[in-house]
Amino acid sequence: MDIYLVEALLNGLLLGGVLALLALGLNLIFGVIDVVWIAYAELVMCGMYVVYWLYGYYHWPLALAAVLAVLGVAFLGLLVHQLIIAPILGSPAINQLLATGGLLFFLQSFATLLFGTDFRNIGLRLPILEIADMSISFARLIAFGVAVLGAGALYVFLSKSFLGTAIRAIGQDREIVGLMGVDQRRIYLVTSAIGGALAGLAACLLVLQYDVHPFIGLSFGPITFMICVLGGLGNMIGGFAAAFIMSEIISIGGFYFSQEIGEVLAFVVFIALIFVRPQGIFGRS
Protein backbone atom coordinates (compact mmCIF):
# COMPACT_ATOMS: atom_id res chain seq x y z
CA MET A 1 0.00 0.00 0.00
CA ASP A 2 1.15 3.48 -0.84
CA ILE A 3 2.82 4.98 2.24
CA TYR A 4 1.30 8.38 1.46
CA LEU A 5 -2.17 6.88 1.40
CA VAL A 6 -1.45 5.46 4.87
CA GLU A 7 -0.36 8.94 5.89
CA ALA A 8 -3.62 10.39 4.54
CA LEU A 9 -5.65 7.76 6.40
CA LEU A 10 -3.76 8.50 9.61
CA ASN A 11 -4.27 12.25 9.18
CA GLY A 12 -7.96 11.62 8.59
CA LEU A 13 -8.13 9.67 11.81
CA LEU A 14 -6.38 12.48 13.70
CA LEU A 15 -8.67 15.14 12.23
CA GLY A 16 -11.68 12.99 13.18
CA GLY A 17 -10.87 13.19 16.89
CA VAL A 18 -11.56 16.90 17.24
CA LEU A 19 -14.59 16.74 14.94
CA ALA A 20 -15.93 13.87 17.07
CA LEU A 21 -15.54 16.04 20.17
CA LEU A 22 -17.55 18.85 18.55
CA ALA A 23 -20.21 16.40 17.36
CA LEU A 24 -20.49 14.97 20.89
CA GLY A 25 -21.14 18.41 22.36
CA LEU A 26 -23.75 19.34 19.78
CA ASN A 27 -25.47 15.96 20.02
CA LEU A 28 -25.48 16.08 23.82
CA ILE A 29 -27.27 19.43 23.81
CA PHE A 30 -29.70 18.35 21.11
CA GLY A 31 -30.44 15.01 22.78
CA VAL A 32 -31.05 16.52 26.21
CA ILE A 33 -32.52 19.99 25.60
CA ASP A 34 -33.89 19.37 22.10
CA VAL A 35 -32.37 22.53 20.64
CA VAL A 36 -29.65 22.95 18.01
CA TRP A 37 -26.97 25.46 18.87
CA ILE A 38 -26.30 26.91 15.42
CA ALA A 39 -23.57 29.08 16.95
CA TYR A 40 -21.68 26.09 18.40
CA ALA A 41 -18.55 26.61 16.27
CA GLU A 42 -18.56 30.29 17.24
CA LEU A 43 -18.21 29.23 20.88
CA VAL A 44 -15.10 27.37 19.71
CA MET A 45 -13.88 30.62 18.14
CA CYS A 46 -14.31 32.39 21.49
CA GLY A 47 -12.27 29.68 23.20
CA MET A 48 -9.51 30.01 20.60
CA TYR A 49 -9.31 33.75 21.31
CA VAL A 50 -9.02 33.04 25.04
CA VAL A 51 -5.99 30.82 24.43
CA TYR A 52 -4.58 33.30 21.93
CA TRP A 53 -4.77 36.25 24.30
CA LEU A 54 -3.71 34.48 27.49
CA TYR A 55 -0.93 32.33 26.01
CA GLY A 56 -0.01 33.89 22.66
CA TYR A 57 -0.17 37.52 23.78
CA TYR A 58 0.23 37.69 27.56
CA HIS A 59 2.41 34.55 27.73
CA TRP A 60 0.59 32.86 30.59
CA PRO A 61 1.38 29.14 30.86
CA LEU A 62 -0.34 27.20 28.06
CA ALA A 63 -1.97 24.73 30.46
CA LEU A 64 -3.50 27.57 32.51
CA ALA A 65 -4.73 29.30 29.34
CA ALA A 66 -6.29 26.01 28.19
CA VAL A 67 -8.05 25.40 31.52
CA LEU A 68 -9.39 28.96 31.53
CA ALA A 69 -10.59 28.57 27.93
CA VAL A 70 -12.49 25.38 28.82
CA LEU A 71 -14.03 26.98 31.93
CA GLY A 72 -14.74 30.22 30.08
CA VAL A 73 -16.58 28.55 27.22
CA ALA A 74 -18.44 26.30 29.71
CA PHE A 75 -19.66 29.50 31.39
CA LEU A 76 -20.55 30.92 27.98
CA GLY A 77 -22.60 27.76 27.39
CA LEU A 78 -24.46 28.41 30.65
CA LEU A 79 -25.19 31.98 29.53
CA VAL A 80 -26.39 30.80 26.10
CA HIS A 81 -28.90 28.53 27.81
CA GLN A 82 -30.01 30.93 30.52
CA LEU A 83 -30.28 34.05 28.35
CA ILE A 84 -31.27 32.68 24.93
CA ILE A 85 -32.65 29.14 25.13
CA ALA A 86 -34.53 29.08 28.45
CA PRO A 87 -36.95 31.91 27.58
CA ILE A 88 -37.95 30.23 24.28
CA LEU A 89 -37.87 26.56 25.32
CA GLY A 90 -41.52 25.92 24.56
CA SER A 91 -41.60 27.84 21.29
CA PRO A 92 -41.39 26.34 17.78
CA ALA A 93 -38.04 24.87 16.72
CA ILE A 94 -37.62 27.49 13.98
CA ASN A 95 -37.53 30.27 16.60
CA GLN A 96 -34.81 28.46 18.50
CA LEU A 97 -32.79 28.07 15.29
CA LEU A 98 -33.22 31.77 14.52
CA ALA A 99 -32.18 32.76 18.04
CA THR A 100 -28.97 30.72 18.06
CA GLY A 101 -28.39 31.70 14.42
CA GLY A 102 -28.57 35.30 15.60
CA LEU A 103 -26.01 34.48 18.25
CA LEU A 104 -23.69 33.23 15.49
CA PHE A 105 -23.73 36.61 13.73
CA PHE A 106 -23.50 38.43 17.04
CA LEU A 107 -20.37 36.54 18.09
CA GLN A 108 -18.74 36.94 14.67
CA SER A 109 -19.43 40.67 14.59
CA PHE A 110 -18.45 41.15 18.21
CA ALA A 111 -15.11 39.39 17.60
CA THR A 112 -14.55 41.51 14.48
CA LEU A 113 -15.28 44.66 16.43
CA LEU A 114 -12.92 43.72 19.28
CA PHE A 115 -10.07 42.05 17.40
CA GLY A 116 -10.44 43.00 13.74
CA THR A 117 -10.26 40.43 10.95
CA ASP A 118 -6.55 39.62 11.44
CA PHE A 119 -5.51 35.98 11.43
CA ARG A 120 -3.80 35.43 14.75
CA ASN A 121 -1.41 32.61 15.60
CA ILE A 122 -0.47 31.62 19.14
CA GLY A 123 3.12 31.32 17.96
CA LEU A 124 3.73 27.81 19.21
CA ARG A 125 5.60 25.65 16.70
CA LEU A 126 5.12 21.98 17.40
CA PRO A 127 7.40 19.52 15.60
CA ILE A 128 6.43 17.33 12.67
CA LEU A 129 7.08 13.68 13.42
CA GLU A 130 8.78 11.67 10.67
CA ILE A 131 7.80 8.02 10.95
CA ALA A 132 8.70 5.63 8.13
CA ASP A 133 8.61 8.38 5.47
CA MET A 134 5.30 9.76 6.81
CA SER A 135 4.96 13.25 8.26
CA ILE A 136 2.57 13.38 11.16
CA SER A 137 1.81 16.71 12.80
CA PHE A 138 2.50 16.55 16.52
CA ALA A 139 -0.27 19.13 17.12
CA ARG A 140 -2.77 16.81 15.44
CA LEU A 141 -1.51 13.86 17.44
CA ILE A 142 -2.01 15.76 20.70
CA ALA A 143 -5.41 16.97 19.52
CA PHE A 144 -6.48 13.43 18.72
CA GLY A 145 -5.23 12.04 22.03
CA VAL A 146 -6.89 14.73 24.13
CA ALA A 147 -10.13 14.53 22.12
CA VAL A 148 -10.35 10.76 22.65
CA LEU A 149 -9.58 11.19 26.37
CA GLY A 150 -12.26 13.88 26.61
CA ALA A 151 -14.81 11.70 24.84
CA GLY A 152 -13.88 8.80 27.12
CA ALA A 153 -14.31 10.94 30.24
CA LEU A 154 -17.72 12.06 28.99
CA TYR A 155 -18.70 8.45 28.34
CA VAL A 156 -17.74 7.38 31.86
CA PHE A 157 -19.57 10.36 33.37
CA LEU A 158 -22.75 9.70 31.39
CA SER A 159 -22.83 5.97 32.03
CA LYS A 160 -21.62 5.72 35.64
CA SER A 161 -22.72 8.81 37.59
CA PHE A 162 -26.16 9.67 38.94
CA LEU A 163 -26.12 13.04 37.18
CA GLY A 164 -24.97 11.48 33.90
CA THR A 165 -27.70 8.85 34.07
CA ALA A 166 -30.29 11.58 34.65
CA ILE A 167 -28.91 13.50 31.66
CA ARG A 168 -29.44 10.42 29.47
CA ALA A 169 -32.88 9.74 30.94
CA ILE A 170 -34.35 13.21 30.49
CA GLY A 171 -34.55 12.99 26.68
CA GLN A 172 -36.53 9.74 27.03
CA ASP A 173 -39.22 11.13 29.32
CA ARG A 174 -39.05 14.79 30.31
CA GLU A 175 -41.97 14.67 32.71
CA ILE A 176 -41.33 11.51 34.67
CA VAL A 177 -37.71 12.33 35.65
CA GLY A 178 -39.24 14.89 38.02
CA LEU A 179 -40.82 12.04 40.01
CA MET A 180 -37.30 10.79 40.75
CA GLY A 181 -36.22 14.15 42.17
CA VAL A 182 -34.53 15.41 39.00
CA ASP A 183 -34.83 19.18 38.52
CA GLN A 184 -35.10 19.65 34.75
CA ARG A 185 -33.80 23.22 34.79
CA ARG A 186 -30.67 22.17 36.62
CA ILE A 187 -30.00 19.30 34.19
CA TYR A 188 -30.35 21.72 31.25
CA LEU A 189 -27.84 24.11 32.81
CA VAL A 190 -25.34 21.35 33.57
CA THR A 191 -25.72 19.97 30.03
CA SER A 192 -25.19 23.41 28.51
CA ALA A 193 -22.04 23.88 30.59
CA ILE A 194 -20.71 20.47 29.51
CA GLY A 195 -21.52 21.31 25.87
CA GLY A 196 -19.64 24.58 26.30
CA ALA A 197 -16.70 22.82 27.97
CA LEU A 198 -16.42 20.41 25.02
CA ALA A 199 -16.37 23.38 22.61
CA GLY A 200 -13.69 24.99 24.83
CA LEU A 201 -11.61 21.80 24.78
CA ALA A 202 -11.93 21.60 20.99
CA ALA A 203 -10.85 25.26 20.83
CA CYS A 204 -7.63 24.49 22.74
CA LEU A 205 -6.84 21.67 20.30
CA LEU A 206 -7.71 23.62 17.14
CA VAL A 207 -5.75 26.71 18.10
CA LEU A 208 -2.61 24.52 17.99
CA GLN A 209 -3.23 23.92 14.29
CA TYR A 210 -5.12 26.92 12.93
CA ASP A 211 -4.95 30.70 13.12
CA VAL A 212 -7.88 32.28 14.92
CA HIS A 213 -10.03 34.93 13.27
CA PRO A 214 -13.70 35.93 13.69
CA PHE A 215 -14.91 33.59 10.93
CA ILE A 216 -12.93 30.48 11.88
CA GLY A 217 -16.19 28.89 13.04
CA LEU A 218 -17.29 28.59 9.43
CA SER A 219 -14.36 26.24 8.79
CA PHE A 220 -15.77 23.50 11.05
CA GLY A 221 -19.30 24.54 11.98
CA PRO A 222 -20.97 23.22 8.81
CA ILE A 223 -18.98 19.97 8.83
CA THR A 224 -19.93 19.40 12.48
CA PHE A 225 -23.63 19.76 11.65
CA MET A 226 -23.22 17.36 8.73
CA ILE A 227 -21.57 14.85 11.03
CA CYS A 228 -24.37 15.12 13.59
CA VAL A 229 -27.10 14.68 10.98
CA LEU A 230 -25.23 11.81 9.34
CA GLY A 231 -24.84 10.03 12.68
CA GLY A 232 -28.49 10.65 13.56
CA LEU A 233 -29.16 13.89 15.47
CA GLY A 234 -28.89 13.29 19.19
CA ASN A 235 -27.20 9.92 18.70
CA MET A 236 -23.84 10.42 20.41
CA ILE A 237 -22.24 7.16 19.32
CA GLY A 238 -23.50 7.65 15.74
CA GLY A 239 -22.05 11.16 15.67
CA PHE A 240 -18.76 9.91 17.04
CA ALA A 241 -18.47 7.32 14.26
CA ALA A 242 -19.70 9.72 11.55
CA ALA A 243 -16.92 12.17 12.50
CA PHE A 244 -14.31 9.63 11.48
CA ILE A 245 -16.16 8.70 8.28
CA MET A 246 -16.28 12.36 7.20
CA SER A 247 -12.71 13.13 8.19
CA GLU A 248 -11.44 10.11 6.24
CA ILE A 249 -13.39 11.19 3.14
CA ILE A 250 -11.88 14.67 3.39
CA SER A 251 -8.42 13.31 3.96
CA ILE A 252 -8.48 10.63 1.25
CA GLY A 253 -10.14 13.03 -1.20
CA GLY A 254 -7.35 15.46 -0.36
CA PHE A 255 -4.77 12.76 -1.08
CA TYR A 256 -6.10 11.84 -4.53
CA PHE A 257 -7.21 15.32 -5.60
CA SER A 258 -6.88 18.36 -3.32
CA GLN A 259 -8.06 19.48 0.12
CA GLU A 260 -10.92 21.47 -1.47
CA ILE A 261 -12.09 18.54 -3.57
CA GLY A 262 -11.92 16.41 -0.42
CA GLU A 263 -14.40 18.71 1.32
CA VAL A 264 -16.63 18.85 -1.75
CA LEU A 265 -16.56 15.05 -1.80
CA ALA A 266 -17.61 14.96 1.87
CA PHE A 267 -20.63 17.14 1.07
CA VAL A 268 -21.55 14.98 -1.94
CA VAL A 269 -21.37 11.81 0.14
CA PHE A 270 -23.43 13.53 2.85
CA ILE A 271 -26.18 14.57 0.41
CA ALA A 272 -26.24 11.12 -1.20
CA LEU A 273 -26.46 9.34 2.16
CA ILE A 274 -29.20 11.65 3.40
CA PHE A 275 -31.24 10.79 0.31
CA VAL A 276 -30.90 7.11 1.10
CA ARG A 277 -31.21 7.37 4.88
CA PRO A 278 -32.83 10.69 5.93
CA GLN A 279 -32.61 9.66 9.60
CA GLY A 280 -28.80 9.38 9.36
CA ILE A 281 -26.74 6.24 8.91
CA PHE A 282 -26.96 5.32 12.58
CA GLY A 283 -30.37 6.87 13.26
CA ARG A 284 -33.44 4.75 13.90
CA SER A 285 -36.38 5.52 11.56
Nearer to another protein, 151 or 166 (CB): 166
Asked if 180 is part of the footprint of another protein (rule: CB under 8 A), the reply reads yes
Identify the residue among 118, 173, 211, 260 touching another protein (CB under 8 A).
173
Among 58, 113, 162, 275, binds another protein (CB under 8 A): 162
- The rounded distance, in Å, linking the Cα atoms of 194 and 244 is 22
CB of residue 72 to another protein, shortest distance in Å: 29
Distance CA 263, CA 127 (A): 26
Could you tell me the smallest distance in angstroms from the CB atom of residue 172 to another protein?
Answer: 5
Q: Give the nearest distance from C-beta 183 to another protein in angstroms.
A: 5
CB of 161 to another protein, least distance (A): 9
Residue 169 found at the interface with another protein (CB under 8 A):
yes
3-class secondary structure, 15: helix
Asked if residue 178 binds another protein (CB under 8 A), the reply is yes
For 136, residues 6+ apart whose C-beta sits below 8 A from its C-beta are 7, 10, 11, 14, 128, 129
Per CB under 8 A, the segment of 43-51, 100-108, 179-187, 193-201 that binds another protein is: 179-187
CB distance 129 to 3 below 8 Å: no
Strand partners of residue 135: 130
Phi then psi for residue 35, to 5 deg, are -130, 155
Report if residue 177 touches another protein, rule: CB under 8 A.
Answer: yes
Host H or E run for residue 134: strand 134-137
Residue 53 CB contacts under 8 Å (≥ 6 apart), including other chains: none
Q: Is 237 in the site for another protein (CB under 8 A)?
A: no
* Residue ranges in contact with another protein by CB under 8 A: 162, 165-166, 168-169, 172-173, 175-184
